Structure 1
Amino acid sequence: MDDVIPEEEVPPWTQQITVRGLAVSVLLGVVFSIITHKLSLSIGVVPSLNVAAGLLGFLLVKSWMALVAKLGLVTKPFTQQENTVIQTCVVACYGIAVSGGFSTYLFGMSSRTFQVIGPGSPGNSAQDVKDPKLGWMTSFVLTCSFVGIFALVPLRKVMVIDYKLTYPSGTATAMLISSFHSNAGAHEARKQVACLGKSFAGSFAWSFLKWLVSGGTGSNCGFEHFPTLGLKAYANTFYFDFSATFVGTGMLCPSIVNFSALAGAILSWAILWPLIGARAGDWYPAGLEPTNFKGLYGYKVFIAIALILGDGLYNLLKIAVISLRAAMIHKAGGDDATVVPLLDLDRDKLTETFTMEGVPMWIAATGYVLLSLLSVLHIPTIIPALRWYHVLVCYLVAPVFGFCNAYGAGLTDWNLASSYGKMGLFVFGAWVGSSGGGVMAGLGACGLVVSIASNAADLMQDLKTGYLTQSSPRSMFVSQLLGTLLGCFIAPLTFWMFWKAFPDVGLPDGEYKAPTAIAYRQIAILGVQGLAALPAHCLEFCIAFFALALLLNAGRDCFSWRWLPIPVAMAIPFYIGAYFAVDMVVGSLVMILWERLRGKDEASAYGAAVASGLICGDGLWTIPSAVVALLKIKPPMCMTFLPTAT
C-alpha cells in the first residue's frame, strides 16, 4: 500500500484549500443537510456520511476538471489533500444539522411538540415554548457551534499520535480517498462513481413516481402506505414503504443495528402494545386520542426513553472505564491494547506532516475564551430561562465532556454527544425548576453540551483522516471552521424549508414526525417534574426496560454475544412504528445477498456507493417536492388499498 502515500511533494496548506473545493463543499453541504433533516425528522437515525462525502467530492471535482479540459483550459491537479479538505468541510457543514438540534432539543421547544404531548400533561407548560424562527436558530448555532472546535485543537497530537487512537470512520475515509488518488484505485473509483450515478438517478425517478400517486385528502395514498405484509400487519405498522432513503440507510448501517430495530418493532408492535392496549379502561382511560400521553402513547414514549437512557448510561460508564484503563497504560509506558496496525504507511513521514503545520496554542485558547464569553452574554437573550451563570457552568465542564467523547469515539467509533446532552438536560432542568422554565433551560443546556461534545469528536475524526492522507492540520482546522460556518446558515435554511413546506412536521401522523424531539421534551419534563408525568404502571415497565438495556449491553461486552440487539436501536420503533425497520432490514438483506452472490470484496467496495446514491437521490427530491408543496400543487393520483368488504 505504499502507493497510498503520494510521491510528489505535499502541497502547502494554503493550496489544499481551493475555490473549487469550497464550491463543491457548499453544494454537498446543502444536499447532505437536507438528507440529514429528512432522516432525523422521520426516524431519528442518521448514518455516517463521511465516506459518501469523500466519494461525491471526488466525483464532482473530477467532473469539473473533465469539463474544463474539454474547453481547452488548464486546471490544477486534484490531490488527496484537497479531497480530504472537501470531505472535512462537508462533514462539518452537515454536522450542524445533527448537533444543532433541529429534530431534537430545539424542536422540542416548539409548540407542535408541546401540543403533541398535551397542554394538560403534568410539567408541559405553555411558557416553555419557542417556535422555530430562522433568525434565532441561526444565531443560536452560530454562537455555540465553534467552541468545541477550539477546545481540543491543542490535544490533536496527543489523541492521534501519542495515544494512536484508531477513529475507525476517519481511517476508513482516509483509505477511500487515498485509493481514489493512487494509480491502482483510479479505475475502481470510476466504477464506484458509475454505481453511485445509476442508483442516484433511479432513486430520484422513483421518488417522483411515488409522489405522482400520493395525492388525496384524508386518505393513506401512495407506496408509503402499501400493505405489503397484509392489512392486519399494516394496521400494526408492519409494511415495506418502498423508501430508497431507508433502504440505503440499512445498507450503510451494520446489520446488527437494522435487526435490532426489527427486534424492537416485533417486541413493541407485535407483543407489548396489543397487550397494554387490551388494558384500556383499566390501566388508562379508554377512548383517548392516539397521541395522548395518559394513554398507550405514554407507554410507547417512556419505555423507549428508558431503553435509550439505559443504553446511554451503560456506554458512558464503559467509555469512562476504557479511557481510564488506556490512560493508565500510557502513563505506565506500556503498549495500548487498542492500537491495531491498520495501515502499512510510513508513519514517520505522516507524523512529520502532521506536526509541521499546527494551530498555535494561543489561537485555540483565545478562540475558546472569546466564544465562551459571547455565549455567556448572548444565549440568555435567546433562551431567557438559561441564565448567564448556567451558560458559564456549561462551558467550564463541557471541555471535559468533549475530551471524553473524542477519546471514546477514537476507541469505539461511538459519538455519545447526545448522552452527555441528556445529562445536562436533567441537571440544568432540575436546577432551574418548573417555575423558572426548567424545561427550556434543560433543552438549551443540552444543546450547548451536545454542540461541544459532538464537534470535538468530529474534529478528531477528521484530523485522523487528515493525518493518514498527509493533509495539513492547519488546512483541516480552517476547513472545519469554514464548514461549520456554512452549516450555521445552511442547516437552519434547509430545516426552514421543511418547516414551511410540510405542515405535518412534528405531528405523529405525518411523514416527518420528529420523534426524538418528543423524547427530549419528555426527558426534560421528567427532570423537572419527576415521575408525576408517567401513566399507571408505566414506571414498572420503564425500570424493567432500563435493566434490559443494561443486561443486553453487558451480554454483548462480557460474553461476546454479538447477536444480542442494541438497545438504542430497539427503542426507535417503539413509538415511530415498524415500517422503517422493515426497510432497513431489506437494505441489510441486499448487502448479505450481494456478498453471497458476488463476494464480500465487491459488496463492500460498491455497496456504500449504491447506498449513497439511493439516499442522495431521494434526499434531493425533497427540494422539488417542497417547492410544489409551497406552490399548492398536489399530486394528480391517489393509490390506496382497502379491505374487500369496504
Structure 2
Amino acid sequence: MTSPSPQGRSFTVRGVAAGLGVGTIICAANMYFGLQTGWVSIMSMPSSLMGFAVFKLLKPYLRFPFSPVENVLVQSVAGGMAIMPLGCGFVGVIPAMNYLLGPDEQGPLSLSMWQLIIWSLGLCYFGVVFAVPLRHQVIIRERLRFPSGFSTAVLIRVLHSRGQKSSPQELDAATKGGFASLAAKDDDPALVEDISPSAEEEEPEAPKDLDWAYNMRLLLLSFLVSGIFTICNYFLPILRDLPVFGTIAASTWLWTLNPSLAYVGQGIIMGTETTLHMTLGAIIGWGVLSPLAKMKGWAPGPVDDWEKGSKGWIVWVSLAIMLVDAVVSLAYIALRPVFTTHAVPALAVLQRRFRQSRIAALFGTPHQYSPIPSQEQQEDEEQEDDDQAFPAEEEDGGQDDAPTDQQVNNRIVFWGLLASILICVLSTQIVFGHLVPLYAIVIAVLMALVLSIMGVRALGETDLNPVSGISKLAQLFFALIIPQSNKSSVLINLVAGAIGALQAGDLMQDLKTGHLLGAAPKAQFWGQIIGATFGAVFSAFAYRIYTAVYEIPGKLFQVPTAYVWIFTARLVTGQGLPYMAKEWAIGAGVLFAMTTLARTLSVGRPWRSWIPGGIAVAVGMYNVPSFTLARAIGGIVSWYWLSVRKQSTTPLIIIASGFILGEGFLSIVNLWLQALKVPHY
C-alpha cells in the first residue's frame, strides 16, 4: 500500500546547493576531529536547522515554498558529503598507510592527489547504492526505529509547522514507521506563505525550545564562541593541554585537559552514559595499565611512544575489547531472528498492545511532548521496538511506502549496485593493483555487503554504528585467506578492511527521516549520490592540505585510529605483541565479552547504564585523557540539564552542534595561520 505524497518538491537545484554548502562545513569539521580522535558525525539535526535557516532568510526571494521534503533533500546531500572522511578512510586507513607502514611492509606508502581522489570516488558510491535495497528491508518491512532519524524528522516537522506540536496519534503513527506519518497536512501553513498581522497575533507563541529563530541564535552564538576559542588556541597552545592534575601527571603520564568546547559538545551529544564509560576506559588505561606497564618494564619507552611506550601497549588491550564487543553484539543481532521466529504469532498481539500503552505513557498529552527524545527515552523506546523486528501486520496498514514513481527503480538499483562494485574494484586496482591481488579486492567487496547489513541493523536498533568493530572483523577474516609470508600482507589487510559499505548505516538515518516525512526516496538517493561525490573529492583535498601543513602524526593530530588499524593488521597477520600484552588483552576480552552480552540482554532495564560499554571503554583507552575528560564534562552537563533541571533536549543539542561546527570550521583559519608560519605565544 502506498500513501499520498505530501506537498512540496522533493528534488530542487537550490536544495542541492544548500546541502552542499552545509555539507562542506560538516565535512571539514569531521576531517579535523577525525584526525584528532577518530570521531565523525553525520550531524543530521544541525543540517536540517541550517538548511531551514538559509531558506528562512531568503524567504522574500523564493519562487515556491521551502517544504519539509526539500529540507530532507538538504539533509541528505549534506549527510552524504559529511560522512566521506570516514567512508573513504581519511581518518584511519590512509594515514596508517602514509605514515605507519614500515619498510618491510611495503611502506610508508605515498599516494598522490589523483590517487586519493580515485580511491575515494571508488568507495563513496558503494554504501549509497547498497542502502536502497536495505531501506526496504529495515525501514519498510522490519520498521526499525533509527532513533536519530526519527528525532530529525520530528525536528523538521516542528520547524515547518511554526512550533505546532504533533498530536499523540501522529507520534504513534510515526513510531510505527508509517510513510509520511509526520508529513504536514494540507491545511498546515507553508514556510513562505503570507500571513496577515492579525493571524500572527492570534497564533499562540511557540515555546522557546521549538522556536527556530531562538534555536538559530543559539547555534550562531555557540558557533562564534567555539570558533573564537579555537583561534585563541593557536596563539596559546597551552590551552590544549591544561595540567589540571599537576605537572608530573601531565608531563609523565599525559593526564591533561583539553578544554575544547567542541569536545564538550561531543560529550553532550554522546550522553552521560557513554562519556562516563569512556572516562572509565581512560582511568583503566592511563591511570592503571599505563603506569603498570611502565613500571614493570613491559613498555620501557616514553609513555607517549606508540612503539615502545605504554601508549602503544594499552592499545592492544583496547583492541581486544573492541573485537569482542563487535563479535558479541553482531552475533546477537544475526542470531536473534533464528530464536524468535517461532514466537512471532503468539506474541504479536501482546507486543503491539504493550507498545501502544508504552507510547501513550511516553508521549502523554501534546503539551508534554519533547521533540527530541532524551537518552533515557530512547533506551525505553529501543526496548519497546523489539517487536518491530517482525514483519508488519495487515492491520497496521500493510507495508506502506512512497508512490511507485517516487521510488528508485529496481533496474537502477541493480545496475547501480553492479556499477558501484565494479568502480570500487577498478579504483582499488588502479591505486593498489601492484601490491594487492585482485581476488582479495573482490572478496573484500563481497564481504563488505554482508558486514554492512549487520551494521545497518545495529544502528537501526541501538543508534550506534559499530564501524570500528566491523572493520576489525574484516581484517581478521582477511588474515585467514592472505598468506602471512606475503610481504604485503599488512598492506593488503589494511586495504581489504577499508573497503566497505559502512556509511550505508549513517545514510539510513536520513532515509528514515525522509520516510516519516514523505520525501521521495528517489530524490534522497540522487541527493546522497551528489553529496557523496563532492564529499569524496573535498575530503581528498582537505586531507592533503592538513597533512601538508601539520605534522601527522603529531601533538595536535595524533591519528589514534590509524594506529588501531595498523596494530590490528599486524596482530592478525601474525606479528608479535609487546611483552604481557597478550595476557592482558585476553583477560580484557573475556571480561568485556560478558559485559557486552549483559548490556545486550538488558536493554530497557534500569541497571543497564551501570554496565560498561565495550566500545566506549576502548575509545577512552586509545585516546589520550585530554579529549576524554572534555567529553566527560559534556556528559555531566547533559545529565544536569536533562535529569536535574528537567529541560528540553533541543537547545542543548543545538548548542553542542554549534560548538562542534565552530571549532571544526574555524580550524581552517588555524590551518592558514600554520601554513603562513604565524608565531605561537
Same fold (TM over 0.5): yes
Instruction: Trace 1:194-205 onto structure 2 (pairs within 5 A).
Output: 194-205=217-228
User: Does residue 188 of structure 1 match 2:235?
Assistant: no
Structure 2 partner of 1:462: 510
Distance 1:173 1:207 in 2: 28
Q: Cα distance 1:392–1:337, how it changes in 2: closer, same or farther (>3 A)?
A: farther
CA contact (8 A) 2:84 2:532 kept: yes
Cα shift at 1:534: 0.8
Distance 1:148 1:330 in 2: 31
The match for 2:273 among 248, 256, 278 is: 256
Q: Cα distance 1:349–1:306, how it changes in 2: closer, same or farther (>3 A)?
A: closer
The match for 1:608 among 618, 636, 653 is: 653
Cα shift at 1:247: 0.5
Q: Deviations over 1:107-166 (max 9, x none)?
A: 2111x223xxxx5xxxx7241432343211211121122123223423433322221211
Q: Cα distance 1:10–1:287, how it changes in 2: closer, same or farther (>3 A)?
A: closer
Cα shift at 1:252: 0.7
Structure 2 partner of 1:643: none
Cα shift at 1:392: 2.1
Instruction: Trace 1:195-234 onto structure 2 (pairs within 5 A).
Output: 195-214=218-237, 222-234=238-250
User: Does residue 523 of structure 1 match 2:543?
Assistant: no
Structure 1 partner of 2:194: none
Instruction: Trace 1:535-554 onto structure 2 (pairs within 5 A).
Output: 535-554=578-597
User: Does residue 402 of structure 1 match 2:446?
Assistant: no
CA contact (8 A) 1:265 1:581 kept: yes
Distance 2:347 2:646 in 1: 42
User: Does residue 512 of structure 1 match 2:557?
Assistant: yes
User: Does residue 417 of structure 1 match 2:467?
Assistant: yes
User: Does residue 22 of structure 1 match 2:16?
Assistant: yes
- Percent identity, aligned pairs only, is 23
Q: Cα distance 1:331–1:519, how it changes in 2: closer, same or farther (>3 A)?
A: farther
Instruction: Trace 1:83-162 onto structure 2 (pairs within 5 A).
Output: 83-110=71-98, 112-114=99-101, 119=102, 125-162=104-141
CA contact (8 A) 1:242 1:583 kept: yes
Structure 1 partner of 2:263: 246
Q: Which range moved further: 318-327 or 258-267?
A: 318-327
Instruction: Trace 1:20-99 onto structure 2 (pairs within 5 A).
Output: 20-47=14-41, 49-65=43-59, 69=60, 73-99=61-87
Distance 1:598 1:80 in 2: 32
Cα shift at 1:562: 2.0
Structure 2 partner of 1:447: 498
Distance 1:38 1:306 in 2: 27
SS of residue matched to 2:556: coil
Cα shift at 1:326: 6.0
Structure 2 partner of 1:642: none
CA contact (8 A) 1:329 1:336 kept: no
Cα shift at 1:606: 0.4
SS of residue matched to 2:400: helix
CA contact (8 A) 1:150 1:368 kept: yes
List gaps (5 residues or longer) in structure 1: 1-5, 215-221, 638-646
The match for 1:10 among 7, 11, 14 is: 7
Q: TM-score normalized by structure 1?
A: 0.85
CA contact (8 A) 1:506 1:512 kept: yes
Structure 2 partner of 1:273: 290
Q: Deviations over 1:178-224 (max 9, x none)?
A: 1110133576222111111111111111222222223xxxxxxx211
User: Does residue 310 of structure 1 match 2:298?
Assistant: no
Structure 1 partner of 2:389: none
Number of matched pairs: 593
Distance 2:544 2:467 in 1: 24
Letter aligned with residue 56 of structure 2: K
Instruction: Trace 1:319-468 onto structure 2 (pairs within 5 A).
Output: 319-325=333-339, 334=348, 351=400, 353=402, 355-384=404-433, 385-434=435-484, 435-449=486-500, 452=501, 454-468=502-516
Cα shift at 1:259: 0.4
Distance 1:106 1:335 in 2: 51
Cα shift at 1:553: 1.3
Letter aligned with residue 167 of structure 1: F
Structure 2 partner of 1:300: 314
Q: Deviations over 1:591-631 (max 9, x none)?
A: 22333664232xx0200100011111111111111112112
Distance 2:141 2:4 in 1: 26
CA contact (8 A) 2:231 2:667 kept: no
Q: Cα distance 1:612–1:228, how it changes in 2: closer, same or farther (>3 A)?
A: same
Distance 2:453 2:347 in 1: 21
Structure 1 partner of 2:196: none
Distance 2:305 2:562 in 1: 14
Letter aligned with residue 277 of structure 1: K
SS of residue matched to 2:610: coil
CA contact (8 A) 2:333 2:458 kept: yes
Letter aligned with residue 181 of structure 1: H
SS of residue matched to 2:296: coil
List gaps (5 residues or longer) in structure 2: 165-205, 367-394
Q: TM-score normalized by structure 2?
A: 0.81
Distance 1:336 1:204 in 2: 52
Q: Cα distance 1:419–1:330, how it changes in 2: closer, same or farther (>3 A)?
A: farther
CA contact (8 A) 1:89 1:479 kept: yes
Distance 1:331 1:367 in 2: 37
Q: RMSD of aligned C-alpha atoms? A: 2.9
